[in-house]
Structure 1
Amino acid sequence: MSTQGRKVAVITGASQGIGAGLVDAYRKLGYAVVATSRTIAPSNRAGVLTVQGDIAETATAERVIAAGVERFGRVDTLVNNAGVFIAKPFTDYTQDDYAAVTGVNLTGFFRITQLAVAHMLAQGGGHIVNVTTSLVDNADSRVPSVLASLTKGGLQSATKSLAIEYAMRGLRVNAVSPGTIKTSMHPEETHDALAALQPVGRMGEQSDITDAVIYLENAPFVTGEILHVDGGVSAGH
């Protein structure tokens, strides 16, 4: 099948959880997908190209975008979904924790987004979605997480900055800010306690986040938006 004319989405952190759900969601939209993560397996699915690598390494970003352009000819959407979350009291963070979180959440975002934007501008437009966390806007003493706020908070501010920088050039940039979502990151035995932290009294589903990303994908007048999908956390307690 000819791939020319078909839109292409690049998704980081794509091997499991929300990332894997995003691969399925974009395929349903008719997009070809370049899916990357540290552990992703080769795929024989039509329209899906997997690239294994650590997004904290700039060489990975370069391989991902190059592979997508070589296979599918273009890049229309980038979803920066990869993220590392380590919740500890501030003084317990180690240098390794700092390197791990900033490596994926900031460095991992930075290079691949630069490369994607360059292709999008050459094509005349595109869309970037950054996945952050509701803790950025609503710190919680029960979940000490300065490194998440430091990195994902930076990503949230960068979302607005990029949206405005490229607003006149056909590029939209948005973010989805999740509350606590049922993924493999949260063991089953923690679910009741985590549900109690949400104003609605339950955790979110992975589909809540994928649906939010697809809403933004299909919303041409929306840019610079931080879409909270967090069961009310951003509104208060």
Structure 2
Amino acid sequence: MSAEQKVAIVTGASQGIGAGILGAFRDRGYRVVATSRSIKPSADSGVLTVQGDIGAADTAERVFKAALDQFGRVDTLVNNAGMFMAKPFTLYSPDDYALYMSTNVTSFFHMTQRALDVMSKQGSGHVVTITTSLVDQPMSSVPAALASLTKGALSAATKALAIECARTGIRVNAVSPGIIKTPMHPKEAHQALAALHPMGRMGEVSDIVDAVFYLDGAEFVTGEILHVDGGQAAGHHQM
């Protein structure tokens, strides 16, 4: 790490994967700007929290202003905020669709656009986005076409931006998780969810954290969609 302390922005940072990524950045000496709707102020002087709707343009403006005013730079953006709602496609309401688009896609647009603007002036930076393995390997037992519609867009944009930014010093990657043990999934569902992975277990938050930090340090890797899904994306698994 350079003599100047690095700075990361993490969205959806109040719990689950986002909270795990936030803690891991601090353990590695980064200063962090963390955002979510419900995030509380931090007693850690190296963590600045910003509350807001991640789909709103003004949230991105406030997050990046805070990062630059307080810490003076942005080295990594982790687009972690997202939503997931499994139901048959014809049962999604217009409100479901709007919420999916705002949380998963519009947030990526506003946050990543500002990140690339800041990073292009620095001549370096990394954007990493959390998608889902369902984009590549849908399952009849988990009807989630809006997850594929929105997260698939992020996977495609990741590759497009990696090429667009390839000569600027900015890298753009994604992590594509299977089903991870987070507060989103009740414990009584864990056994059934574990069985959906060829490896026979759910992922841990630490598995996703490890993938994010591999990509963050892999300076010759860009445009990568790194599957951390117990083999889901590789193919079908017969019980």
Q: TM-score range by the shorter chain?
A: over 0.9
Distance of 1:154 and 1:91 partners within structure 2: 20
In the TM superposition, what are the counterparts of 1:76-115 in structure 2 within 5 Å? 76-115=75-114
Tell me the equivalent position of 1:21: 20
C-alpha deviation, 1:62, in angstroms: 0.7
What are the within-5 Å matches in structure 2 for residues 1-237 of structure 1?
A: 5-237=4-236
Alpha-carbon distance in 1 for matches of 2:87, 2:57: 27
- TM-score normalised by structure 1 residue count: 0.97
Q: Which runs of 5+ in 1 are unaligned?
A: none
Q: Per-residue CA shift, 1:42-79, capped at 9, x if unaligned?
A: 00112100000010111101100111110000111000
Unaligned runs of 5+ in 2: none
Misfit runs of 4+, over 3 Å: none
- Number of aligned residues: 234
Q: Post-superposition shift, 1:6?
A: 1.3
Q: CA-atom RMSD, angstroms?
A: 0.8
Counterpart-to-counterpart distance in 2, 1:43 and 1:30: 16
Partner AA of 2:73 in structure 1: R
> Secondary structure of the residue that 1:5 maps to in structure 2?
coil
The secondary structure found in structure 2 opposite 1:182 is coil
Amino acid in structure 1 at the alignment position of 2:68: V
* DSSP 3-state at the match of 2:195: helix
- Give, as a single letter, the amino acid of the residue that structure 2 aligns with 1:202: R
1:178 Cα deviation from its structure 2 partner: 0.1
**TM-score, normalization by structure 2:** 0.97
Identity %: 66
